[in-house]
């Protein structure tokens, strides 16, 4: 299949825009939106039957002619398809609205006490940091922030820094799989092994992983893995999953307590009140769309385009490229010229100038005394999009 600008017709994006920001909130393909609408139409034909007997039931087993029963409720069917895609056990996976919701579920459920400690890194997503600090403050626990090597990133050194931060007080380590801002792929398997050697559980924020990397949650071995499906896995917003190891499921509760409380891990997360379940039910349609495109070919195209973007932009802007190709998935973060500034207001100005003056949507942020842009490469992008970005950021080149 030929990827590039011709693929834009599969998405409802403005064809006049240069959209290099798929990773922020995703873009839903037309055929997945159509599948979601079919679910909505089905719900409205008989809402109570659908929501309380077919989607989920108070007893954990639906009743009535033609109704789904037990583990075959529609929510569990969708969860099983997603679990197969991400390499997790179907009884270990539940749906949540987004990664932040999943992290909240974990840090609010785990027992914390005064003197306890949660370890995070300085690359953690801002919303996650806020949730962690809130949970720690409620229980008199502390948050330790590990400074990771950057911009010259070394995977072995990153593992050593996390391992050296652990103590008898550490109750949880939270690490990214693909970092939101810097787009680096962290060595999560090695981090999990190092923490488990000290009997410390690990929560992985995999917000950008499904659909971007070939994911096998079980092989990683983390105690908790949470990730979005509405970014690279093509599901509608808002759609994410949480995988919890069996040893922790009995103490795990969603942030919203409702009718499922006390009835079991999956039952409790599957019903947290009346809401639109169609993003979750449509997640398998997003996965099917990925497979129709050719998942392996898609990932290869996106990675290659992201890596070419890193090389092209650093050459055009005369900025350093201090990462190895193995640390890049389908996003890459590149330092802009010094003329773009060095702080958050400068990053916001650049982001808005690119959008309103050049119709280019790309993520920009400040870190380590520079303004950086994070380029998301999706199959509707191509090299000329990168070239347009290079000229817009530095017109003098």
Q: What value does the mean pLDDT take over residues 50-76? A: 67
Flag whether pLDDT at 69 surpasses 70: no
Among 125, 124, 107, which residue's Cα sits nearest to residue 116? Answer: 107
Taking the C-alpha atoms of residue 92 and residue 126, their distance in angstroms, rounded to an integer, is 27
What tokens does 311 get? Answer: 């090389």
Give the CATH number of domain 83-288.
3.40.640.10
5-31+294-393 shares its CATH topology with 83-288 = no
Which residues is 203 bridged to in the sheet? 174, 224
* C-alpha distance from residue 227 to each of 217, 293, 303, 362 (Å): 10, 22, 20, 22
Tell me the whole-structure pTM to 2 decimals. 0.95
Range scoring the smallest mean pLDDT among 115-124, 256-265, 353-362? 256-265
Q: What value does the mean pLDDT take over residues 237-263? A: 95
Q: What pLDDT is recorded for position 173?
A: 98
Strand extents, DSSP E, 291-349:
331-335
Q: What pLDDT is recorded for position 72?
A: 84
Q: What pLDDT is recorded for position 58?
A: 72
Q: What pLDDT is recorded for position 396?
A: 61
Taking the C-alpha atoms of residue 119 and residue 126, their distance in angstroms, rounded to an integer, is 15
Q: What pLDDT is recorded for position 60?
A: 52
Flag whether pLDDT at 397 surpasses 60: no
DSSP string, 301-313: HHHHHHHHHHHHH
Flag whether pLDDT at 388 surpasses 90: yes
- What are the pLDDT digits (tens) for 208-249? 999 999 999 999 999 999 999 999 999 999 999 999 999 999
> Which 8-state DSSP code applies to residue 52?
I
Q: What pLDDT is recorded for position 374?
A: 98
Q: What pLDDT is recorded for position 324?
A: 93
Q: Where are the domains of the chain?
A: 5-31+294-393, 83-288
- What are the pLDDT digits (tens) for 81-116? 999 999 999 999 999 999 999 999 999 999 999 999
Among 298, 287, 72, 323, which residue's Cα sits nearest to residue 179? Answer: 323
Q: Which CATH class, in words, describes the domain spanning 5-31+294-393?
A: alpha beta
Q: What pLDDT is recorded for position 57?
A: 80
Flag whether pLDDT at 66 surpasses 80: no
- What are the pLDDT digits (tens) for 289-322? 999 999 999 999 999 999 999 999 999 999 999 9
Q: What value does the mean pLDDT take over residues 149-175? A: 96
> Please, which pLDDT band fits residue 260 given cuts at 50, 70 and 90?
confident
- What are the pLDDT digits (tens) for 181-207? 999 999 999 999 999 999 999 999 999
> Please, which pLDDT band fits residue 71 given cuts at 50, 70 and 90?
low
- What are the pLDDT digits (tens) for 155-167? 999 999 999 999 9
What is the residue-averaged pLDDT of the chain?
94
Flag whether pLDDT at 49 surpasses 80: yes
């Amino acid at each position: 299949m030929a990827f590039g600008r011709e693929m834009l017709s599969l998405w409802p994006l403005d064809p006049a825009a240069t959209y290099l920001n798929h990773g922020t909130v995703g873009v839903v393909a037309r055929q997945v939106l159509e599948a979601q609408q079919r679910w909505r139409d089905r719900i409205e034909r008989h809402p109570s039957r659908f929501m309380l007997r077919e989607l989920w039931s108070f007893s954990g087993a639906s009743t009535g002619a033609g109704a789904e029963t037990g583990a075959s409720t529609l929510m569990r069917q969708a969860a099983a398809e997603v679990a197969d895609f991400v390499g997790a056990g179907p009884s270990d996976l539940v749906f949540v609205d987004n990664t932040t919701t999943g992290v909240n579920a974990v840090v609010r459920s785990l027992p914390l006490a005064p003197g306890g400690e949660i370890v995070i890194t300085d690359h953690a997503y801002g919303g996650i940091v806020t949730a962690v600090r809130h949970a720690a403050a409620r229980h008199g626990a502390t948050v330790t922030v590990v400074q990771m090597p950057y911009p010259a990133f070394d995977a072995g050194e990153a593992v050593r820094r996390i391992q050296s931060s652990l103590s008898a007080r550490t109750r949880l380590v939270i690490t990214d799989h693909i970092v939101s801002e810097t787009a680096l792929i962290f060595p999560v398997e090695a981090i999990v092994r190092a923490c488990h050697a000290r009997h410390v559980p690990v929560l992985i924020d995999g917000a950008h992983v499904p659909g971007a990397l070939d994911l096998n949650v079980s092989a990683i071995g983390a105690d908790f893995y949470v990730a979005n499906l509405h970014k690279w896995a093509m599901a509608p917003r808002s759609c994410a999953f949480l995988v919890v190891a069996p040893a922790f499921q009995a103490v795990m509760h969603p942030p919203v307590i409702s009718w499922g409380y006390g009835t079991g891990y999956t039952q409790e997360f599957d019903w947290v009140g009346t809401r639109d379940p169609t993003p979750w039910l449509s997640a398998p349609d997003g996965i099917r769309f990925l497979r129709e495109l050719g998942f392996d070919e898609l990932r290869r195209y996106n990675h290659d385009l992201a890596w070419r973007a890193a090389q092209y932009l650093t050459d055009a802007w005369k900025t350093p490229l201090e990462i190895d190709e193995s640390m890049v998935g389908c996003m890459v973060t590149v330092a802009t010229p010094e003329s773009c500034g060095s702080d958050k207001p400068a990053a916001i100005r650049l982001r808005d100038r690119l959008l309103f003056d050049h119709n280019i949507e790309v993520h920009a942020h400040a870190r380590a005394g520079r303004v950086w842009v994070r380029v998301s490469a999706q199959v509707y992008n191509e090299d000329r999009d990168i070239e347009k970005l290079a000229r817009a950021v530095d017109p003098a080149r």
